[in-house]
């Protein structure tokens, strides 16, 4: 009995790519300090973190196989399959999360000029 439903590998790669466009656009425009159209809408932290999480989840389900075999005792089989595009999108999503975390840290904990 399969526990996790699987999408087609191509479908999950395309959906993950489409979802990663929003955080990539935000990070690129923020790094260039360019006031691009839609940046205010795409700059929502909830939207960016949600798209990153969904992209990782969709691609993780594509490379992860979990099966529960009935019997005495029950056997849980977990297998990982290496698919280049899915793994690349997961790594890229974590790189974007790292870039966003670094930006957040540097913006909020930068030393302030004293007014003395």
Give one DSSP letter per residue of 45-109, joined into a string: HHHHHHHHHHHHHHHHHHHEEEEEE-SSS-EEEEEE---HHHHHHHHHHHHHHHHHHHHHHHHHS
Give the global pTM.
0.76
Domain presence at residue 115 = no
Low-confidence ranges of the chain (pLDDT < 50): none
Domain presence at residue 66 = yes
The domain tally of the chain equals: 1
Going by C-alpha positions, the residue among 46, 43, 44 that lies closest to residue 29 is 43
Domain presence at residue 116 = no
Domain presence at residue 114 = no
From its phi and psi, is residue 41 left (phi > 0), alpha (psi between -120 and 50) or beta?
A: alpha
Domain presence at residue 67 = yes
Domain presence at residue 3 = no
Measured in whole angstroms, the distance separating CA 94 from the mean position of its chain's CA atoms is 6
Segments forming the whole domain that contains residue 62: 9-108
At 19 the three-state DSSP class reads: helix
Domain presence at residue 4 = no
Domain presence at residue 113 = no
């Amino acid at each position: 009995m399969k526990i996790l439903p699987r999408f087609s590998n191509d479908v999950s790669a395309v959906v993950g790519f489409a979802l990663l466009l929003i955080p990539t656009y935000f990070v690129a425009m923020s790094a260039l300090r360019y006031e691009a159209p839609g940046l205010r809408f795409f700059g929502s932290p909830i939207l960016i973190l949600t798209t990153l999480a969904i992209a990782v989840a969709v691609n993780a389900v594509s490379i992860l196989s979990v099966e529960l075999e009935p019997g005495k005792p029950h056997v849980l089989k977990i297998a990982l399959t290496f698919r280049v595009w899915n793994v690349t999108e997961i790594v890229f999503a974590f790189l974007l999360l790292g870039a966003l975390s670094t930006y957040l840290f540097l913006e909020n904990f930068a030393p302030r000029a004293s007014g003395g």
